Structure 1
Amino acid sequence: MGRTVFTEKVIEVIKAIPEGKVCSYGRVAALAGNSRGARQVVRILHSSGEKEQLPWQRVVNREGCISLKKSQGYERQRELLEKEGVEFDFDGRIDLETYLWCP
């Protein structure tokens, strides 16, 4: 079964997020043509992230936080982002004014 146009566009958008920047699930969805598709972005990341070699760590929630739970990927995502120079505040938030990708 082939992929949808939306799935292809989501993959394209995620691949375009530069190192040291982040994008929210909803913003990725909107840039791919469906402003209500944030949950689909999560599904696409889960199903295609590895095989498409997506920079999955650069997708965070709209509050600038990692959505993964502690011991379920949170630490790995944070480590990858910090290696790219993304900083977190005391509460684990990313300053979106500084790090949000705006194509």
Structure 2
Amino acid sequence: MQQEPDEFAELVLEVAERIPPGRVLSYGDVAELLGRGGPRQVGRVMARWGGGVPWWRVIRADGSPPPGHEVRALQEYLAEGTPLGQDGTRVDMRRARWDGRS
């Protein structure tokens, strides 16, 4: 079993670190930005090595946070002023999606 992140994982983690507070990208957005992999591959990287980066900023395309981390993610969203949907549990992707530029 691989102990260290490979090149793709390093790139995913770099993207996650660049997402500004209050903004998000979906797993698929990250793959598209990198021009490789897909949502599942990005999700696998985040699940395995994402603890050291702002993982709550990489979410599902429907705006829901990583499964099992909903409470902590919501705390981060509120602290960062991330736009939430009307239900208050999901991110409003239309308003919060980062365009990938600094």
Please classify the TM superposition score into its range, dividing by the shorter chain length: 0.7 to 0.9
Q: Which runs of 4+ in 1 moved over 4 A?
A: none
Greater percentage in helix: 2
Q: In the alignment, what sits opposite 1:44? A: 45
Would you say how many aligned residue pairs link Structure 1 and Structure 2?
Answer: 97
Match of 1:102 among 91, 99, 102: 99
Q: In the alignment, what sits opposite 1:13? A: 15
Cα deviation, residue 90, structure 1: 3.0
Contact persistence 2:83–2:95 (CA under 8 A):
no
Aligned to 1:49, the other structure's residue is in SS state helix
Structure 1 unpaired stretches of 5+: none
RMSD: 1.7
| One-letter amino acid of the counterpart of residue 61, structure 1 | R
TM-score of the pair, normalised by structure 1: 0.81
Aligned counterparts of 2:90 and 2:46: Cα–Cα separation in 1: 21
Cα deviation, residue 94, structure 1: 1.9
Match of 1:88 among 84, 93, 96: 84
Q: Can you list the C-alpha shifts for 1:7-61, whole angstroms capped at 9, x where unaligned?
A: 2211111111011101000001111222x521111111111122xx210010111
The sequence identity of aligned pairs, in percent, is 35
TM-score of the pair, normalised by structure 2: 0.82
Cα deviation, residue 95, structure 1: 1.9
Q: In the alignment, what sits opposite 2:27? A: 25
Aligned counterparts of 2:30 and 2:99: Cα–Cα separation in 1: 11
